[in-house]
Structure 1
Amino acid sequence: MRHLHSPIAVVLMLGGLYVGQSIIGGVTFSALPSVLRDRGVSLDQIGLTYLAVLPWVLKFLWAPAIERYRLPPVGPNRSRSIVFIGGMISALGLVLLGMIGPTSFVPLLGILMLIAFAASTVDIACDAEAVESLSERHCGWVNAAQVGGAYLGAAIGSGLYLILVARFNWTWATISMAVMLVLLGLPFLRSPAVDSADKRVHRPSLRDALGRIEMRKGLVLAALYAFTQKWGLSMLGPFLIDSGLDLTSLGILNGLGGLIAGFACALLGGALVRAWGTRSIMLLALVLQALALCGLALAARSGGVPQSILLVLALASSSGILALGFVALYAQFMSLSDPRQAGVDFTLLQCMDALVSMAGGVGAGWISQHYGYGVFFGLNGALALAAVIPVALLSGRSAEARSRHENAPAGELASHVP
């Protein structure tokens, strides 16, 4: 017997997991460096905390093994056991982190790496469950939960966490994040597992993923889209500081402003993807991002632009347009993922996005340093426009992929909602 979940139930269950994962990211990559610096930890040691991003970049290496465990030959999938084990490791890791304190740096870094490994493994099962449990016409909503959950979780992990540290102490603030992580995972853990009516005969593997032409096109699309949407924003913070914005205002912009704009545009993106499809929304986001970057370029070259205009451009490009575009991109990832090994395919596409995004900072800093912000933003705006045609060609879903998703037997698709 197969359990069918309504689209709303799937989005809410998975949304809790995505918020929880982003809380971990907010604590690790945003709040923790500030706390460590406040406690006198050196900048070179603080920089080492970013090693915790490596499991998120490399998780495609163990995704096939996780997916083979998750999908036994017969019976319900094992997504919930993966989420339970990974979630408990993450929560207990946060409790341990709270107990050892922020100045024991080597143990702290080791725990962060363990938490990142557990959370990234949970993400494999979570994304696979999304592909299995929703039909293509509903996938925009779960992608809105992914992107919107990322903004909400980051606000909790980087904003609320710092407030709790300042108001109470490191230990209770960190333990409270662990408790929140457990509570957010309960709806998914209490839901029935997807059961297969037929025997599963496919063996998930990277070779299978890379052997399909639509997946190879998807990897190029992921790299191109991350490059054109994210690299132009890497120098946005320094530009605003150099334009006279103080740290407090920048913090409000990134925190409250980013949360509101990002969450709202993620929800809007979910609705637009369902109405117009992924390709149209990705192209719309590229054009809007190009216009915003060109506006920043003009502001950088002319100088004397009112801060209100700079803030609108910054908020639109870094939160609103970015969220809108990535809801569509992740929906495209779902449509490219084979339901027989969704955890492998979706993870591979995400890792390409993460790798390209991580690589962008060095080149961005060099161009801005030697040629100025105006040239940097203008160049990225031109590249975003130039990417419109390649993205349009790459985002067309192949007939092979459509046929597999539409005609696969019930046991392969598990519980696609009609």
Structure 2
Amino acid sequence: MTTVPSGSHAPSPAGVFVAVGGLYIAQSVIGGLTMLGLPAVLRSQGLPLDQIGLLYLTVIPWAFKFLWSPYVERFRLPAVGRNRSRSIVFAGGLLCAAGLVSIGLTGPYPLAPVLSVLLLVALITSTVDIACDGYAVETLAKEHHGWGNTAQVGGSYLGSALGAGLFLILVERIGWSYATFTMASLVILLGLPFVFGPASRSAVETRSHAPSLLLALKRPQVQRGLMIAAIYVAAQKWGLSMLGPFLIDRGFDLASIGILNGVGSMIVGFSGALLGGMLVRLWGGTTVLILAILLQTMLLAAFALFSFDGSLPRAFIIPIAIASSSGVMSVGFVALYSQFMGWSDPKQAGVDFTLFQCADGMVSMAGGLGAGWISEHFGYPFFFTAAAIVSVLAIPAIGLLMRGMNDNAVVLAQLSDGR
């Protein structure tokens, strides 16, 4: 892996933060549209929940991008030459925008063609993400890695606000086509700071390390980290996969859900990301992870109660939904992703970090597909109750696995010396 450029070629941390932050926002615009916005649109048109759950197939590229991450990194970082991150991002942004324009022209249903296009867009976006993560880790000096983590988590919530919040409001006001065209334009605009920013001024370098998936999988720290990631994602995400359709079935319109998603992501989610970073520094990653699961369990139990007893005032659902999908999630995932950075080998952080993200994607996809089927056949009360039980069981599992994972820097240094 290349080292941080020196001299006149070294970009400012603020410039890198803005550049990669724009890409993280753009990725989450697409993700928010696909996973939160589109399910609500489809449910408002009467599609059954088990069909809506098929949208979680778009997580497949995110779940398996570790398979091609070494090849992307080797192309991006040639043995001799300039960093190719800019080329990957530029081409990927154009292709993603073209995909959104195409579904804007065809409409949100029938679902099969829309799903096919979104799968292709997800493949492109996940590949761009490998380059973006690798560029951030290698370009920012170690003391500025927190900037990259803030850009990733904060950008994801801002992008989700646009893709799930603003998008639904636009669908309600100006229709599907123009709303989707607007999102395509945003994807292009958000990529410009990277394409014309610090990535355009890379220097010719010589690199000796070839990124390897096998080296990552051999490390016990990565193996245990993957188990932690899988359990934690199941506890945090599974119960929220049917939140949009649930709110539609309880009488909320698309504009209301859009406002909920937008306010939750932009204000509560971003604030939660900042709070999560502070709590990790004060209490450590393990404590924050377990605290987030506890809070999510209580919120899922509240959803289960409301789904049993529909007489509970709708006003109670709004703060619970925002707290669950934005507040608690952002606090917990800042802690989890900070652990990912610590568990990644600096010599091939793009590959290692991608592995952890893929565990997130695989578990999210499995939970989303199962959530639609369970909700359709057994109802929301059973679904939310089962999700709360999964969260409870995750607490002791996370606690046990996190033992011995705190001295990450020491262990990694020993492993690197012995390689």
Q: TM-score, normalised by structure 1?
A: 0.81
User: How many residues align structurally?
Assistant: 406
Q: Does 1:390 align with 2:400?
A: yes
CA contact (8 A) 1:228 1:380 kept: yes
Cα deviation code 1:121-171 (max 9, x no counterpart): 101111112222334554344323222222221221233233334444444
Match 2:411 to one of 400, 404, 410: 400
Task: State the partner residue of 2:348.
Answer: 341
Q: Does 1:159 align with 2:170?
A: no
Task: State the partner residue of 1:80.
Answer: 86
Q: Does 1:331 align with 2:342?
A: no
Distance in 2 (CA, whole Å) between partners of 1:109 and 1:295 is 32
Task: State the partner residue of 2:96.
Answer: 90
Segment drifting more, 147-156 vs 215-224: 147-156
Q: How does 1:108-147 map to 2 (within 5 A)?
A: 108-147=114-153
Equivalent residue letter for 1:281? V
* 1:324, distance to aligned residue in structure 2 (A): 0.6
CA contact (8 A) 1:145 1:266 kept: no
Counterpart secondary structure, 1:162: helix
Distance in 1 (CA, whole Å) between partners of 2:39 and 2:304 is 30
Q: How does 1:163-312 map to 2 (within 5 A)?
A: 163-193=169-199, 199-234=206-241, 246-247=252-253, 252-274=259-281, 277-293=284-300, 311-312=318-319
Segment drifting more, 180-189 vs 40-49: 40-49
* 1:102, distance to aligned residue in structure 2 (A): 4.6
Distance in 1 (CA, whole Å) between partners of 2:91 and 2:215 is 27
Equivalent residue letter for 2:71? A
Equivalent residue letter for 1:231? W
Segment drifting more, 341-350 vs 106-115: 106-115
Distance in 2 (CA, whole Å) between partners of 1:267 and 1:180 is 25
Equivalent residue letter for 1:15? G
* 1:352, distance to aligned residue in structure 2 (A): 0.6
Q: TM-score, normalised by structure 2?
A: 0.81
Over 3 Å counting, the alpha-carbon distance change for 1:135 and 1:113 in structure 2 is same
Cα deviation code 1:255-276 (max 9, x no counterpart): 4334421121112223444555
Distance in 2 (CA, whole Å) between partners of 1:167 and 1:279 is 44
CA contact (8 A) 1:232 1:380 kept: no
Q: Percent identity?
A: 51
CA contact (8 A) 2:158 2:265 kept: no
Distance in 1 (CA, whole Å) between partners of 2:323 and 2:357 is 23
Segment drifting more, 194-203 vs 264-273: 194-203
Over 3 Å counting, the alpha-carbon distance change for 1:82 and 1:235 in structure 2 is closer
Over 3 Å counting, the alpha-carbon distance change for 1:216 and 1:162 in structure 2 is same
Cα deviation code 1:359-390 (max 9, x no counterpart): 23537938975984785365245324324522
Q: How does 1:50-89 map to 2 (within 5 A)?
A: 50-89=56-95
Counterpart secondary structure, 1:86: helix
Distance in 2 (CA, whole Å) between partners of 1:338 and 1:327 is 19
Distance in 1 (CA, whole Å) between partners of 2:320 and 2:332 is 16
Over 3 Å counting, the alpha-carbon distance change for 1:204 and 1:108 in structure 2 is same
CA contact (8 A) 2:153 2:330 kept: yes
Match 1:17 to one of 20, 23, 29: 23
